[in-house]
Structure 1
Amino acid sequence: MIYRVLLGLLIIVAIAFGYTKVMARIASGIPPVSVEAEHQADHIYVSKDDRMMYLMQDEIVLKSYSIAMGAQWDAGPKQREGDERTPEGSYHIDWRNPRSVAHLSLHISYPDSDDRARGQENGYDPGSNIMIHGLPNGWGALGSLHRLLNWTDGCIAVTNSEMQEIWSFTPNQTPITIVSNWSPNNN
């Protein structure tokens, strides 16, 4: 608990001094070279309840990562812009940003047509720009401490070194399934 309080205070102080705005201008990082196609992931699974992400190939776990998500990750799937929820459903990685405000980012194809239709039916914007990303630029030294809080606006966050690895193992169009509870043993 004390770590969460200290981390929260550190973030508040940094924001107060404009550190985040300055650091957002710094380049995200040089993207790594992709691994050979035969070693790349063919699917990503995210288990929200376990706060885990799995890179899979032929139903075998290549890599697994402990993650941070949207601050309201446990309130159900993302519904609207600003709800701080992480989406649930089947999507894919549709583009990547090497100059992101966080250390590298892979865009998840949320919202899909169902998400947009649900938003339109209920009169709200479903949101967008859901990414898998590292830490905000300039915050890499936090490393795994960032996982003490679910701090994103709905994205999936990992450490910078993990993001380097994920970037290299995950080609565009890789399917990603985000669910409340998933285990590689259930697959």
Structure 2
Amino acid sequence: MSVPSAVSVNKVTVDKSKRRLYLMNNDQVVREFRIALGKRPVGHKVYEGDQRTPEGIYKLEFVMEDSQFYRSIHISYPNEQDVAFAQRLNLNPGGDIKIHGQKNGELRPSKFVQSFDWTDGCIALTNEEMDELLSLVKVGTPIEILP
């Protein structure tokens, strides 16, 4: 299902428990994607390497065209609360969290991306879906990641 490019997206919502990413326009879902998450999806990201996807309200910061994954957009994790919590535990909160496409060189079909949780804490889409997301979402858009 494709969305007309004239549609404005003013928020991205991720529901980790449903493995869904929603593009929102004034509290209306304009596009829904099935997603894969970090290998340990339950709970909020606390430290680098915990393989969890963060929970909370962040912003989409910048697009990366050149990485180990097909196109990505960076999420503003960690925020001040994330940093403070990790510091109290004497841990590094990490910070390389993105919405991204398939790993470069991946030969398995696109449906593989969504068949299980495989990232280190990022949110994964198919390459085609990543192109669509980046055509509809602007840098600076808020993203809310729910448990």
**TM-score for both structures, normalised by structure 2:** 0.93
The aligned runs of 1:18-57 (5 Å cut-off) are 38-57=6-25
Task: Tell me the CA shift for residue 57 of structure 1.
Answer: 0.8
The aligned residue for residue 24 of structure 1 is: none
> In structure 1, the residue corresponding to 2:139 is in which secondary structure?
coil
Which structure dedicates a bigger proportion of its chain to strand? 2
> In structure 2, the residue corresponding to 1:114 is in which secondary structure?
helix
> In structure 2, the residue corresponding to 1:73 is in which secondary structure?
coil
User: Conserved in 1, the CA contact under 8 Å of 2:73 and 2:100?
Assistant: yes
CA distance in 2, matches of 1:62, 1:89: 21
Deviations 1:33-79 (A, max 9, x none): xx9985231000000100000000111111100000000002x0000
Runs of 4+ in 1 over 6 A off after TM superposition: none
The aligned runs of 1:32-181 (5 Å cut-off) are 38-74=6-42, 76-139=43-106, 141-180=108-147
User: Conserved in 2, the CA contact under 8 Å of 1:140 and 1:160?
Assistant: no
Larger Rg: 1
Task: Tell me the CA shift for residue 176 of structure 1.
Answer: 0.2
* Amino-acid identity (%): 39
CA distance in 1, matches of 2:124, 2:48: 18
Task: Tell me the CA shift for residue 142 of structure 1.
Answer: 2.2
Which blocks of at least 5 consecutive residues in structure 2 are unaligned? none
